[in-house]
Structure 1
Amino acid sequence: MLEFAGFLPVLLLVGLAAIQLGLVGFAANQAGTGARAGARVASQAEGGDGVAAARAAMTDGLDATVTPGGGGDTTTYTVAVHVPTLLPFVGNGWTVTRSATMPNDDTGEVALP
Protein backbone atom coordinates (compact mmCIF):
# COMPACT_ATOMS: atom_id res chain seq x y z
CA MET A 1 0.00 0.00 0.00
CA LEU A 2 2.82 2.38 0.84
CA GLU A 3 4.57 1.67 -2.46
CA PHE A 4 1.38 2.40 -4.38
CA ALA A 5 0.89 5.69 -2.53
CA GLY A 6 4.44 6.70 -3.42
CA PHE A 7 4.03 5.74 -7.06
CA LEU A 8 0.56 7.30 -7.53
CA PRO A 9 1.79 10.88 -8.22
CA VAL A 10 4.13 9.59 -10.92
CA LEU A 11 1.34 7.54 -12.47
CA LEU A 12 -1.02 10.54 -12.46
CA LEU A 13 1.65 12.74 -14.04
CA VAL A 14 2.26 10.23 -16.83
CA GLY A 15 -1.50 9.97 -17.45
CA LEU A 16 -1.90 13.75 -17.64
CA ALA A 17 1.10 14.00 -19.97
CA ALA A 18 -0.51 11.42 -22.27
CA ILE A 19 -3.76 13.39 -22.33
CA GLN A 20 -1.80 16.59 -23.01
CA LEU A 21 -0.08 14.92 -25.95
CA GLY A 22 -3.51 13.92 -27.27
CA LEU A 23 -4.65 17.56 -27.03
CA VAL A 24 -1.64 18.65 -29.07
CA GLY A 25 -2.51 16.08 -31.75
CA PHE A 26 -6.15 17.17 -31.73
CA ALA A 27 -5.17 20.83 -32.15
CA ALA A 28 -2.84 19.96 -35.04
CA ASN A 29 -5.61 17.96 -36.72
CA GLN A 30 -8.12 20.81 -36.32
CA ALA A 31 -5.64 23.39 -37.65
CA GLY A 32 -4.97 21.29 -40.75
CA THR A 33 -8.68 20.74 -41.35
CA GLY A 34 -9.44 24.45 -41.04
CA ALA A 35 -6.58 25.45 -43.34
CA ARG A 36 -7.64 22.99 -46.05
CA ALA A 37 -11.30 24.01 -45.87
CA GLY A 38 -10.50 27.72 -46.02
CA ALA A 39 -8.10 27.36 -48.94
CA ARG A 40 -10.52 25.08 -50.81
CA VAL A 41 -13.46 27.50 -50.55
CA ALA A 42 -11.42 30.61 -51.34
CA SER A 43 -9.76 29.02 -54.38
CA GLN A 44 -13.05 28.20 -56.10
CA ALA A 45 -14.22 30.35 -58.98
CA GLU A 46 -17.13 31.73 -56.94
CA GLY A 47 -14.65 33.12 -54.37
CA GLY A 48 -16.44 32.13 -51.16
CA ASP A 49 -15.57 33.25 -47.65
CA GLY A 50 -12.59 31.09 -46.75
CA VAL A 51 -12.26 32.40 -43.19
CA ALA A 52 -15.84 31.41 -42.37
CA ALA A 53 -15.33 28.01 -43.99
CA ALA A 54 -12.14 27.44 -41.99
CA ARG A 55 -13.87 28.30 -38.71
CA ALA A 56 -16.88 26.13 -39.61
CA ALA A 57 -14.64 23.12 -40.32
CA MET A 58 -13.06 23.26 -36.86
CA THR A 59 -14.57 22.31 -33.52
CA ASP A 60 -16.40 25.13 -31.77
CA GLY A 61 -14.61 26.66 -28.80
CA LEU A 62 -11.08 26.47 -30.14
CA ASP A 63 -8.89 29.56 -29.83
CA ALA A 64 -7.86 29.77 -33.48
CA THR A 65 -6.47 32.46 -35.78
CA VAL A 66 -7.19 32.14 -39.52
CA THR A 67 -4.92 34.04 -41.92
CA PRO A 68 -5.63 34.12 -45.68
CA GLY A 69 -2.73 34.56 -48.06
CA GLY A 70 -1.29 33.63 -51.39
CA GLY A 71 -1.99 35.20 -54.71
CA GLY A 72 -1.66 34.58 -58.38
CA ASP A 73 -2.46 30.98 -59.24
CA THR A 74 -2.76 29.67 -55.67
CA THR A 75 -4.59 30.44 -52.44
CA THR A 76 -2.92 29.76 -49.09
CA TYR A 77 -4.59 29.71 -45.69
CA THR A 78 -2.75 29.44 -42.38
CA VAL A 79 -4.51 28.45 -39.16
CA ALA A 80 -2.93 28.74 -35.71
CA VAL A 81 -4.68 26.90 -32.85
CA HIS A 82 -3.82 27.52 -29.20
CA VAL A 83 -3.45 24.18 -27.37
CA PRO A 84 -5.18 24.11 -23.96
CA THR A 85 -3.01 22.87 -21.11
CA LEU A 86 -3.81 20.39 -18.36
CA LEU A 87 -0.49 20.54 -16.54
CA PRO A 88 -0.05 23.76 -14.55
CA PHE A 89 3.74 23.86 -14.73
CA VAL A 90 4.14 23.79 -18.53
CA GLY A 91 3.36 27.48 -19.04
CA ASN A 92 0.65 29.07 -21.14
CA GLY A 93 0.54 26.25 -23.64
CA TRP A 94 1.56 25.99 -27.23
CA THR A 95 0.31 27.13 -30.58
CA VAL A 96 0.05 24.66 -33.45
CA THR A 97 0.18 26.16 -36.96
CA ARG A 98 -0.81 24.48 -40.21
CA SER A 99 -0.98 25.85 -43.77
CA ALA A 100 -2.72 24.64 -46.91
CA THR A 101 -2.28 25.83 -50.50
CA MET A 102 -4.83 25.15 -53.22
CA PRO A 103 -4.67 26.03 -56.92
CA ASN A 104 -7.22 28.60 -58.04
CA ASP A 105 -9.98 27.47 -60.40
CA ASP A 106 -9.67 28.52 -64.02
CA THR A 107 -13.01 29.99 -65.07
CA GLY A 108 -12.30 30.19 -68.79
CA GLU A 109 -11.42 26.57 -69.48
CA VAL A 110 -13.79 23.67 -70.06
CA ALA A 111 -12.82 20.27 -68.69
CA LEU A 112 -12.92 17.46 -71.23
CA PRO A 113 -13.88 13.94 -70.20
Structure 2
Amino acid sequence: MRSLRGDRPGNSLRDRYAEGLRPARRDRGASILEFAGFLPILIVIGLACIQLGLIGYGINQAGTGARAAARAASLGGEGEAAGIASVSDWLDPQVDAPLGAGDTTTATVTVHVPAIIPLFDEWDVQRSATMPNDEDD
Protein backbone atom coordinates (compact mmCIF):
# COMPACT_ATOMS: atom_id res chain seq x y z
CA MET A 1 0.00 0.00 0.00
CA ARG A 2 1.26 3.41 -0.99
CA SER A 3 1.05 6.39 1.20
CA LEU A 4 -0.48 9.64 0.06
CA ARG A 5 2.86 11.41 0.39
CA GLY A 6 4.35 9.54 -2.52
CA ASP A 7 7.03 7.64 -0.64
CA ARG A 8 7.78 5.33 -3.52
CA PRO A 9 11.42 4.44 -4.04
CA GLY A 10 13.04 7.20 -6.06
CA ASN A 11 10.19 9.60 -5.42
CA SER A 12 11.21 10.96 -2.03
CA LEU A 13 12.33 14.53 -1.65
CA ARG A 14 15.90 13.41 -1.04
CA ASP A 15 15.95 11.29 -4.20
CA ARG A 16 14.52 14.08 -6.33
CA TYR A 17 17.06 16.55 -4.88
CA ALA A 18 19.97 14.17 -5.54
CA GLU A 19 18.87 13.70 -9.15
CA GLY A 20 18.90 17.47 -9.63
CA LEU A 21 22.55 17.67 -8.59
CA ARG A 22 23.70 15.26 -11.26
CA PRO A 23 24.19 16.73 -14.72
CA ALA A 24 21.97 15.32 -17.40
CA ARG A 25 23.73 13.25 -20.04
CA ARG A 26 22.63 15.54 -22.85
CA ASP A 27 24.64 18.43 -21.31
CA ARG A 28 27.88 16.54 -21.69
CA GLY A 29 30.43 18.61 -23.67
CA ALA A 30 28.48 21.86 -23.42
CA SER A 31 31.12 23.56 -21.30
CA ILE A 32 33.87 22.90 -23.87
CA LEU A 33 31.66 24.41 -26.57
CA GLU A 34 31.04 27.49 -24.42
CA PHE A 35 34.78 27.83 -23.84
CA ALA A 36 35.54 27.42 -27.53
CA GLY A 37 33.03 30.15 -28.34
CA PHE A 38 34.52 32.49 -25.77
CA LEU A 39 38.18 31.76 -26.63
CA PRO A 40 38.47 34.28 -29.51
CA ILE A 41 37.24 37.03 -27.21
CA LEU A 42 39.84 36.06 -24.61
CA ILE A 43 42.58 36.10 -27.25
CA VAL A 44 41.61 39.57 -28.48
CA ILE A 45 41.53 40.90 -24.91
CA GLY A 46 44.96 39.40 -24.25
CA LEU A 47 46.42 40.90 -27.43
CA ALA A 48 44.91 44.29 -26.57
CA CYS A 49 46.60 44.16 -23.16
CA ILE A 50 49.92 43.32 -24.79
CA GLN A 51 49.44 46.18 -27.28
CA LEU A 52 48.77 48.64 -24.46
CA GLY A 53 51.92 47.41 -22.74
CA LEU A 54 53.94 47.99 -25.91
CA ILE A 55 52.57 51.51 -26.23
CA GLY A 56 53.49 52.22 -22.61
CA TYR A 57 56.97 50.84 -23.23
CA GLY A 58 57.29 53.05 -26.32
CA ILE A 59 56.28 56.13 -24.31
CA ASN A 60 58.84 55.27 -21.64
CA GLN A 61 61.59 54.71 -24.21
CA ALA A 62 60.80 57.96 -26.06
CA GLY A 63 60.97 59.93 -22.81
CA THR A 64 64.27 58.32 -21.85
CA GLY A 65 65.73 58.99 -25.28
CA ALA A 66 64.59 62.61 -25.23
CA ARG A 67 66.18 63.23 -21.81
CA ALA A 68 69.45 61.60 -22.87
CA ALA A 69 69.56 63.52 -26.15
CA ALA A 70 68.76 66.86 -24.50
CA ARG A 71 71.38 66.31 -21.80
CA ALA A 72 74.08 65.34 -24.28
CA ALA A 73 73.25 68.26 -26.62
CA SER A 74 73.17 70.75 -23.74
CA LEU A 75 76.69 69.67 -22.78
CA GLY A 76 77.91 70.18 -26.36
CA GLY A 77 77.89 66.49 -27.33
CA GLU A 78 76.09 64.46 -29.97
CA GLY A 79 72.47 64.58 -28.86
CA GLU A 80 71.17 62.46 -31.73
CA ALA A 81 73.65 59.67 -31.01
CA ALA A 82 72.85 59.70 -27.27
CA GLY A 83 69.12 59.60 -27.96
CA ILE A 84 69.40 56.70 -30.40
CA ALA A 85 71.70 54.77 -28.07
CA SER A 86 69.26 55.03 -25.16
CA VAL A 87 66.23 53.66 -27.06
CA SER A 88 65.59 50.06 -28.14
CA ASP A 89 66.53 49.59 -31.79
CA TRP A 90 63.29 47.82 -32.78
CA LEU A 91 61.33 51.00 -31.98
CA ASP A 92 63.14 52.83 -34.83
CA PRO A 93 63.89 56.06 -32.90
CA GLN A 94 64.03 59.39 -34.72
CA VAL A 95 65.92 62.01 -32.70
CA ASP A 96 66.00 65.78 -33.15
CA ALA A 97 68.38 67.41 -30.64
CA PRO A 98 69.81 70.71 -31.86
CA LEU A 99 71.76 72.90 -29.44
CA GLY A 100 69.43 75.60 -28.20
CA ALA A 101 70.16 79.26 -28.91
CA GLY A 102 69.17 80.45 -25.44
CA ASP A 103 69.68 78.95 -22.03
CA THR A 104 68.04 75.61 -22.80
CA THR A 105 68.20 72.76 -25.30
CA THR A 106 65.09 70.81 -26.28
CA ALA A 107 65.30 67.34 -27.80
CA THR A 108 62.42 65.45 -29.37
CA VAL A 109 62.33 61.68 -29.90
CA THR A 110 59.74 59.84 -31.98
CA VAL A 111 59.49 56.05 -31.75
CA HIS A 112 57.44 53.69 -33.89
CA VAL A 113 55.36 51.16 -31.91
CA PRO A 114 54.30 48.19 -34.07
CA ALA A 115 50.74 46.86 -34.00
CA ILE A 116 50.25 43.23 -32.99
CA ILE A 117 46.51 43.22 -33.75
CA PRO A 118 46.16 43.30 -37.56
CA LEU A 119 43.00 45.43 -37.45
CA PHE A 120 44.78 48.46 -35.97
CA ASP A 121 47.45 50.80 -37.31
CA GLU A 122 50.92 51.26 -35.88
CA TRP A 123 51.59 54.14 -33.51
CA ASP A 124 54.21 56.86 -33.49
CA VAL A 125 54.92 58.15 -29.99
CA GLN A 126 56.72 61.47 -29.52
CA ARG A 127 58.26 62.90 -26.35
CA SER A 128 60.34 66.00 -25.72
CA ALA A 129 62.72 67.02 -22.95
CA THR A 130 64.42 70.32 -22.16
CA MET A 131 67.74 70.72 -20.34
CA PRO A 132 69.68 73.82 -19.35
CA ASN A 133 72.75 74.56 -21.50
CA ASP A 134 76.23 74.17 -20.10
CA GLU A 135 77.61 77.47 -18.74
CA ASP A 136 81.28 76.66 -19.50
CA ASP A 137 81.67 78.60 -22.75
Q: Same fold (TM over 0.5)?
A: yes
The 5 A counterparts of 1:22-41 are: 22-41=53-72
* Equivalent position SS for 2:66: helix
- Is residue 82 of structure 1 aligned with residue 128 of structure 2? no
The 5 A counterparts of 1:47-86 are: 47-69=76-98, 70-86=100-116
Partner amino acid, structure 1, of 2:102: G
- Is residue 8 of structure 1 aligned with residue 34 of structure 2? no
* TM-score, scaled to structure 2: 0.73
- Is residue 97 of structure 1 aligned with residue 122 of structure 2? no
Distance across 2 between alignment mates of 1:16 and 1:66: 29
Gaps spanning 5+ residues in structure 2: where?
Answer: 1-31
Deviation at 1:59, TM superposition (A): 1.3
Gaps spanning 5+ residues in structure 1: where?
Answer: 109-113
Distance across 2 between alignment mates of 1:3 and 1:86: 26
Structure with more of its chain in strand, by fraction: 1
| CA deviation string 1:25-65 (max 9, x = no partner) | 01001000000000001111xx1101000011111222121
Q: CA RMSD in A?
A: 1.1
- The residue aligned with 2:25 is none
Partner amino acid, structure 2, of 1:15: G
* Length, aligned pairs only: 105
| CA deviation string 1:69-110 (max 9, x = no partner) | 44211000000111111000012x1111100000001116xx
Q: Percent identity?
A: 61
Distance across 2 between alignment mates of 1:17 and 1:55: 28
* TM-score, scaled to structure 1: 0.88
Which one has the largest radius of gyration? 2
